[in-house]
Structure 1
């Protein structure tokens, strides 16, 4: 049945049109039966009514089919079942009408079930087609993103190599930090390209990334305040955005809170009247005025952040007084 075109099933849409078709088909069946009554042998009062009931159900649905069946039954009882021209019910007439009602109910229910099954199959095919298109698009996007992120990893490793060349004692620390960044990037890829992630909102996606970043990079307890406007982003821009958020938070978690009590970060994504999005990531740590030990890595983090901001075609400002507040403004499209 999946190969049948939809127009074979309920091409008549609308209650008024459907019941109008049912009445018209009843009149057609009655007219044919009445005109050829002398030619039919006794015992076939419903001969032309069964086809029009079936046709009404196919064309307009269960309700019109039932209406056509009821009208046909009364017409057959009055005009074609002896004694004619009366609605009197005796044993033989009751038997005939009971048989007719049984056949009509079975026909209508079978056809209605068939049409419902057909609609379910069409809806399933549409969902499968949409999912196939989405998977193909997702695969292309994944290839593109993996290539870009591998290039980012390669650039990051080259920067770390230069730092190690200047100070070989930083080698193990640099490798550990690179490993943490690559692990986190892998987690984010798996999260965003999981088919089930289509059901998650942008807020839920970002919330998961914030918690994962804290789990991988935070050196102590940090509370996270997450405020995300109800917006939608295509997967590519969302990937860049969450990687940007993760990198900014990585800098905060690693460098802002050594021994700091009541460590807090804010992640806020809001839209403005001009159709732009504004990302704010703020911590209440030491700020930029006090450079922590080993802060050379912060320069690498800043380079990575600027790269993600560039991918979003955004603008970034950083305020280092009383903690670090990073604001990135970019287009939603």
Structure 2
């Protein structure tokens, strides 16, 4: 499972547990408030009638720090009422006196809640950024490992394919550049990969002798991150073969690519027209092997027709 997908599942689980977390936060806030009241009772025996709000200021701060803004405001209001009563429990003072004490505590304690709240938000953002960086690092390590594995396999197969030595550097370089082009279309944390039209534009349109000799049409389809690189290799092989031996090696030849999605399956077709006559090879070369075997789970047909190559790909799409 992708580390980034795992993080999203964790976020969903945290969202589902939100009521329990709120209950815990407000329960803790009430315990802190109760401790403040208890401590105030103890102090009342030592300094009776003095400093009625002294134990409620730290109670509000602690509730905000451990329970969040909502819990802090709850303790703030409760403390304001209890502290105001404690200022004169006999009830002999005027209403203005009680209102003044109540508002004074709310203002002073509220001013202390604000910096604590913003401090907690800053700490939460820093933790979230650290978590995201950790996910990105793990995803990059996973992706780099896969890229080295793919690049190594491509290099090994190209060397073993029996190509002439003077063609070997260009063949390896072209395939590695195809892999690099696919990575340009991926972000470090994307669950999905590149869109098909983006890959066609980056890997096929750049090879066409003339823009009018390539026709590409299809709906917006996004591949998975795992399928993007092998699909890019296939497009590179098809484009390179068309340029060297197929439709684009002939003055009038052209290529049509089209794709659509039916029942969560991508149907992609590569069709060459008006190219030179090509005899079927006696054995499959590396290019055709890459085209047929690069995409796990895909059904690939690779046939030479009378007027050019036809390649069709049926690729199940992942539900991201």
| TM-score, scaled to structure 2 | 0.73
Per the alignment, residue 144 of structure 1 pairs with 149
Q: Is the 8 A contact 2:80 2:102 kept in 1?
A: yes
In the alignment, what sits opposite 1:309?
Answer: 292
Residue of structure 1 in register with 2:256 after alignment: 265
In terms of Rg, which structure is larger? 1
Q: Does 1:327 align with 2:312?
A: yes
State which of 67, 77, 82 in structure 2 corresponds to 1:70: 77
Q: How many residues align?
A: 295
Q: Displacement of 1:130 after TM fit?
A: 1.0
Q: How does 1:162-181 map to 2 (within 5 A)?
A: 175=167, 181=171
Aligned pair in 2 of structure 1 residues 117, 213: CA closer, same or farther (>3 Å)? closer
Measured against aligned partners, the alpha-carbon deviations of 1:241-261 in whole angstroms (never above 9, x if no partner) come to 211122113333453153328
1:21 and 1:197 mapped to 2: Cα distance? 41
Q: How far off its partner does 1:19 sit?
A: 4.2
Alpha-carbon distance in 1 for matches of 2:170, 2:243:
13
- Is 1:12–1:59's contact at 8 Å kept on the other side of the alignment? no
Give, in angstroms, the shift of residue 100 of structure 1: 2.7
Match of 1:286 among 274, 279, 283: 274
Structure 1: tracts of 5 or more residues without a match: 1-10, 162-173
Deviation at 1:181, TM superposition (A): 4.4
- Whether contact under 8 Å (1:203, 1:228) holds in the other structure is no
- Determine the C-alpha separation between the residues in 2 that align with 1:298 and 1:219: 25
Partner Cα separation in structure 2 for residue 132 and residue 45 of structure 1: 53
Instruction: For residue 14 of structure 1, report the CA deviation from its aligned partner.
Output: 4.8
SS of alignment partner, residue 324 of structure 1:
strand
Post-superposition CA distance 1:213-266 (Å, at most 9, x none)? 44553222323314366454343x4322211122113333453153328x4411
Q: TM-score, normalised by structure 1?
A: 0.70
Change in Cα spacing, 1:213 to 1:19, as seen in structure 2 (3 Å) is closer
Cα 1:201–1:281, aligned 2, differ >3 Å: closer, same or farther?
Answer: farther
CA RMSD for the aligned pairs?
3.9
CA 1:217/1:64 → structure 2, altered by over 3 Å: closer, same or farther? closer
Tell me how far apart the structure 2 counterparts of residues 256 and 301 of structure 1 sit (CA, whole Å).
19
Pairing of 1:80-159 with structure 2 (within 5 A) = 80-81=87-88, 84=91, 86=93, 88-90=95-97, 94=100, 97=102, 100-156=105-161, 158-159=162-163
Specify whether residues 331 and 215 from structure 1 end up closer, same or farther in structure 2 by C-alpha distance, changes over 3 A only: closer
Q: Does 1:187 align with 2:180?
A: no
Gap regions ≥5 residues in structure 2:
1-17
Which position in structure 2 is the counterpart of 1:243?
233
3-state SS of paired residue (2:137)? helix
